[in-house]
Structure 1
Amino acid sequence: MSVVSPRVALIAITKHGVSQMVALAAKMVSSDIEELTVVTSRKFASEVESVDCNKIIYQGAMRAQMASLMESFDQLLFFVSLGAVVRLAAPHLKSKDEDPGIVVVDDAGKFVIPVLSGHVGGANEYAEKIASILQATAVVTTASDVGKTIPVDILGRELGWKIEAPKINITRVSADVVNEEPIAFVQEAGSRDWWRRDSALPANIHLFDSFEDVDLTQIKSLLWVTNQDIPAAVWDQLDERLVVYRPPRRLMLGVGCDRNTPLETVETALSNALKQINASHDQVDGMATIDKKSDEVALLQLADSHGWRCTYFSAEQLSEVEVPNPSDVVMKYMGTPAVAEAAAILAAETTMDDLLIEKYKYRGKDGKNATISVVEIKEQG
């Protein structure tokens, strides 16, 4: 998963604040990890000339700049008093899903305080990062961060997980988590590397590999990482105490086709196959086939057009893979009882249990055949 560097604005309106801002900006620029802008009034324009980053020099009141700043940046870091920042930002607040993170540094540079959008906007994490640079203290007040527990509203965000739950569920489950109520954490999909804190997982969080393993009478709320469809009856049963996370699916394709099959036929076969499992092309990690097809034009074009790596296996390698649909005909012509199924399984380093589509066959208008198999790549660890 690619990580986009946040758009960061450092803002100061006093001589001492500008001095602190310039010192911090120099350290941040040297790390080369930010899309950084310094913001100050025309009065202090000469003070920021030495900083090698974007600059906004305004004339008039800071108040007039706030709407634009809140629309244009992901993180606003103020060297301004906390009360003043609250008054400046208040008229422009929308929601925690839209507002930027706002952080304040005190005049002595000893404390870094996330003021707004601590979780969803990332201000808590950013405050800790800035505090580390300044050798200051981050004053974080969000309960799940202070208590070193699960942040329900942003869990797995860096892994590409999408949260699925009404807002009332997120609110109530978050309260149960921070109040140390018994929580079931069911993980049936996605990376296991979701706990990023240095401390141990809190004792009230109980881990399960399957929903069926959970005794619902023994828990208050449930966090469920899955790609399954959740029945309405389960949502009703848990009564606003369920939050679901959808990790991105990672798929491997096994592909076979007749000699000189047109690209259109292979593309149609693939689109039809993916549609059967409600998957998209951007979830595909790569494709695989038999080495005898390493010069098959349509397969080369398919891999190239989507930016996929194509892995080739010998008939001997493929014939050793257990598959659900071995074919005597394929064995006769290719030297292995399966191509698409076996290639997908081998490339994904898994077994036929992870086949989402065993063998989808499609015949094009010209009579040429293409076969698609799809395997879900399981996370390691």
Structure 2
Amino acid sequence: MSNPFAAVAITKHGVEMARDLVERFPGTDLYYMSKFARGDEAVKGYEMFEGSVKLILPDLFKKYNGLIIIISLGAVVRMIAPILEDKKKDPAVIVIDDRGEHVISVLSGHLGGANELTREVAAALGARPVITTASDVQQTIPVDLFGRSFGWVIESFDKATPVSASVVNEERVVVVQETGETNWWTYEKKPLPDHIRVYANAQEAMHVPFDAALVVSDRLLSHEEEAVLLRNGVLYRPKSLVIGMGCNRGTSADEIESVIIDTLADMRLSLRSVRCIATIDIKKDEQGLLDICRKYGWRLEAYTPEELNEVPLANPSDTVFKFTGAYGVCEPAALRASGASEWLLEKKKSGNVTISIARVRFPQTAAACSEAVR
């Protein structure tokens, strides 16, 4: 099955509802008991099963991102209990009552997307969504989803539960945002709560009393910063770094990777915060660059010589211009891709590689930013 969701029904009314739902909710496969077969299942791609639905659930857990089950909540809880693994792996599970009045988020509400799926399915059915996750109900920061829509990566997840408790219990929470997208507060009609304070850097936050911390940074924190902020804190890596790169034709992926890793380590920057590699368009088919981007899931941004020459350089190179038509490659590419006006690293040559690093310029438009360091 290639669809992300599966709907499962075991009653006459449930099958009627499920057949209607999959027509209006794309990306959903349908499973129901064979005794309710109408004869069009093969044509429509619906799957029939015999016996207890409990027998097919382990397989559905592995195949799908979300399960939409039209069975009583208690029965579903008993059936899925033996096959639960981890909230980072388990699919979203939602339950719909037999009359289609309520759609209930049961499992993996945040990380698995059950809460979002609940809202979408309820809207398709004209039903009432039932979501009990505290951060959703209270309209506050969902710690385990914070920044995920922007591609942020959680580096330290072990404190997510106690930090979430601090957020929903309205304890003193600091958000340390050194870089990354700032429009993360999505509740337009509700201001940032007073118990959540935003600081522009770690040093400022470390000198105020707090109970939990959300740290958004592309830096490798110092031992002192980790000890203070991550004692009860979660560290997020935004996609905020652009690697400008030039290399000789045929440079191996291993050499390119080594230069990137060593350079970031020297500058105390996180590999997880790299957004893309930027270069000149004659390098857009460079196998080493393509292999590295594929390995890490980065984009390869390629610019024409004319586009690169629009970026002012303190030390333009006639030699580089002779071979490429641009007065520089890694430096202007980094600035163009990041939107920055200056580099974190202007240029470094290492073997067959030249590298530059710039930090993405993010608009300061968030409601949260206006609350910074209140």
TM-score (norm 2): 0.80
Structure 1 alignment gaps of length 5 or more: 289-293, 365-369
Q: Partners in 1 of 2:59 and 2:326 — Cα distance?
A: 64
Q: Partners in 1 of 2:204 and 2:229 — Cα distance?
A: 15
Q: Partners in 2 of 1:264 and 1:27 — Cα distance?
A: 51
TM-score (norm 1): 0.79
Quick one: structure 1 residues 124 and 190, their matched pair in 2 at CA, closer, same or farther if it must change by over 3 Å?
same
Deviation for aligned residue 1:273? 3.4
Structure 2 alignment gaps of length 5 or more: 266-270, 291-298, 365-374
Number of residue-to-residue matches in the alignment: 347
Q: Partners in 2 of 1:94 and 1:131 — Cα distance?
A: 27
Counterpart of 2:170 in structure 1 is 180
User: Is the aligned partner of 1:373 residue 2:356?
Assistant: yes
User: Is the aligned partner of 1:159 residue 2:142?
Assistant: no
Q: CA RMSD in A?
A: 3.4
Deviation for aligned residue 1:62? 1.3
User: Is the aligned partner of 1:49 residue 2:41?
Assistant: yes
Between stretches 279-288 and 36-45, larger displacement belongs to 279-288
Residues 262-277 of structure 1: pairs in structure 2 closer than 5 A: 262-265=248-251, 270-275=256-261, 276-277=263-264
Q: Partners in 2 of 1:155 and 1:56 — Cα distance?
A: 37
Q: Letter of the aligned partner of 2:348 in structure 1?
A: Y
Classify the secondary structure of the residue corresponding to 2:37.
helix
- Residues 45-89 of structure 1, C-alpha deviation per residue, up to 9 Å, x if partnerless? 22763984x422111111211211222211111111111111111
Deviation for aligned residue 1:191? 1.8
Q: Which protein is bigger by CA-based radius of gyration?
A: 1
Identity %, equivalent residues: 31
Contact residue 269 and residue 372 of structure 1 kept, 8 A: no
Q: Partners in 2 of 1:308 and 1:315 — Cα distance?
A: 16
Q: Partners in 1 of 2:326 and 2:5 — Cα distance?
A: 57
Residues 35-46 of structure 1: pairs in structure 2 closer than 5 A: 36-46=28-38
Residues 117-266 of structure 1: pairs in structure 2 closer than 5 A: 117-167=108-158, 169-200=159-190, 201-214=192-205, 216-238=207-229, 240-253=231-244, 255=246, 262-265=248-251
Classify the secondary structure of the residue corresponding to 1:153.
helix
Classify the secondary structure of the residue corresponding to 1:263.
coil
Q: Letter of the aligned partner of 1:21 in structure 2?
A: A
- Residues 161-214 of structure 1, C-alpha deviation per residue, up to 9 Å, x if partnerless? 1112252x2121111100111211111122223233444333322122211222
- Residues 317-373 of structure 1, C-alpha deviation per residue, up to 9 Å, x if partnerless? 56x7254xx378769979998664345334543222x333x2222456xxxxx6433
Q: Letter of the aligned partner of 1:98 in structure 2?
A: K
Contact residue 9 and residue 39 of structure 1 kept, 8 A: yes
Contact residue 256 and residue 289 of structure 2 kept, 8 A: no
Which of 311, 333, 349 is residue 339 of structure 2 equivalent to?
349
Between stretches 207-216 and 343-352, larger displacement belongs to 343-352
Q: Partners in 2 of 1:155 and 1:38 — Cα distance?
A: 32
Q: Partners in 2 of 1:217 and 1:99 — Cα distance?
A: 38
Counterpart of 2:294 in structure 1 is none
Q: Partners in 1 of 2:156 and 2:302 — Cα distance?
A: 38
Quick one: structure 1 residues 89 and 349, their matched pair in 2 at CA, closer, same or farther if it must change by over 3 Å?
closer
Counterpart of 1:12 in structure 2 is 9
Deviation for aligned residue 1:91? 1.6
